Structures are given as structure tokens and as C-alpha cells.
């Protein structure tokens, strides 16, 4: 049986380093991907995902399990840290690709992926968050609602609007396949 996040948190606060390591291994990859998609920068994503755990270990950490899950608390910290970075201005190093394209689609894939990431970064944050969590992280509406502290209906409507905005923006771009077939 897997120990709950909340129990690991209590153990960590009492000095158990293994509990901290388990929390880190359990949540850092998803927090890193979230920060990467929200910021567009691998360096920012790494900094944010590590800073989340620095803040979690801080004596001033204010996690209250009566208000929500530890996972939601961690994503909340990550969201706030990404907001701070984005307020400081454009991120210097955009993500050009976040996965390895297959051999046949490499040319098209690189350009299409870059266009997708640019377009995703241009979406308002409330829409970008739901796209990242629902579509890229493949989380359920209920999980995303819990993480964002919003009703499920809000998540659904934002996701619908986000997909429409993303689709419209991508449709306006000329894709590499159109160039190759011309």
C-alpha cells in the first residue's frame, strides 16, 4: 500500500528524508512538465520544479490538508512561481520541441511542434493551464478542478474555449505540410 502524500508530508516535516525523496520522485516530473509548458523554458521549468520543493521544506510552508490535497498545493506553488517569472518579461529560451519526433515526420514535426508551443504560450494563462493539465498531462477534469481549485464545469468550459482558441490560431498559421504539398 502506497503512503499518502499527506502522511509523507507529515513525516518529512518531522525530518524524514526518505519521505521527502518519495514526494520528490512522485511529483517532480509532473511539476517540471507543467512548468515547462507554462513557461516555455527548460531552465525555468527546472528552477520552478526544484523551488516548489524548497518551499515545501520551508518552515513557513502553509500546507493545510483540510483545504485540499498536497498535489494541489504543489501545483499552486508552481503556478505562482511561473507567474512571477512571466511577469519579469519574455522567457529567453523557448521550447522548440518537447518530445522526439519520428523519423518520417522530423521536418514537419519540428516546425509544427515549435508553432504549437509558440501558440500555446500565447494563450491566456487560464486556458493554457487547462490545456497543459488535461491534454498534455492527460489528467481528468476532476483532477484538474482539484489542482486549480475550480469547479469541474469551469475546467470543462475553459478547456473547450482553450481548444477553440488554439485551433483557430494554429489554423491561421501555414503548416510545413502545406508548403511541401504546394
Show the cell assigned to 130.
Answer: 487547462
Nearest partner of 34 among 143, 150, 111, judged by Cα: 143
pLDDT at residue 181 in the model: 47
pLDDT in tens, 76-106: 999 999 989 888 876 555 444 444 444 444 5
- Please state, in angstroms and rounded to a whole number, the distance separating the CA atoms of residues 9 and 123: 34
Classify each residue of 140-151 as buried b or exposed e, where b means 16 or more C-beta atoms within 10 Å of its C-beta. ebebbbbbbebe
Instruction: Give pairs for 74-77: CB < 8 Å, separation 24+.
Output: 74/27, 74/31, 75/31, 75/34, 75/147, 75/148, 76/147, 76/149, 77/51, 77/52
Which among 99, 125, 92, 104 has a CA at the least distance from the CA of 114? Answer: 99
What are the tens digits of pLDDT across the range 123-147? 898 999 999 899 888 889 998 999 8
Computed over every residue of the chain, the mean pLDDT equals 83
Neighbours of 169 (CB within 10 A): 16
pLDDT tens profile 31-82: 999 999 888 889 999 999 999 999 999 888 888 888 889 999 999 999 999 9
Per-residue pLDDT, averaged over 154-165, amounts to 92
pTM: 0.71
pLDDT the model gives residue 99: 47
Amino acid at each position: 500500500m502506497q503512503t499518502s502524500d499527506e502522511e509523507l508530508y507529515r513525516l518529512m516535516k518531522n525530518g524524514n528524508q526518505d519521505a521527502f525523496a518519495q514526494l520528490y520522485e512522485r511529483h517532480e516530473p509532473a511539476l517540471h512538465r507543467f512548468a515547462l509548458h507554462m513557461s516555455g523554458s527548460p531552465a525555468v521549468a527546472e528552477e520552478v520544479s526544484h523551488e516548489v520543493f524548497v518551499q515545501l521544506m520551508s518552515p513557513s510552508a502553509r500546507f493545510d490538508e483540510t483545504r485540499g490535497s498536497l498535489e494541489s498545493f504543489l501545483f499552486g506553488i508552481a503556478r505562482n512561481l511561473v507567474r512571477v517569472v512571466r511577469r519579469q518579461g519574455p522567457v529567453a529560451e523557448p521550447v522548440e520541441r518537447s518530445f522526439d519526433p519520428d523519423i518520417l515526420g522530423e521536418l514537419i514535426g519540428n516546425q509544427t511542434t515549435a508553432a504549437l508551443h509558440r501558440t500555446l504560450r500565447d494563450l491566456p494563462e487560464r486556458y493554457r493551464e487547462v490545456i497543459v493539465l488535461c491534454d498534455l498531462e492527460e489528467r481528468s477534469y476532476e483532477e484538474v478542478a482539484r489542482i486549480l481549485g475550480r469547479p469541474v464545469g469551469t475546467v470543462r468550459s475553459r478547456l473547450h474555449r482553450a481548444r477553440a482558441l488554439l485551433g483557430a490560431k494554429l489554423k491561421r498559421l501555414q503548416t510545413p505540410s502545406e508548403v511541401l504539398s504546394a
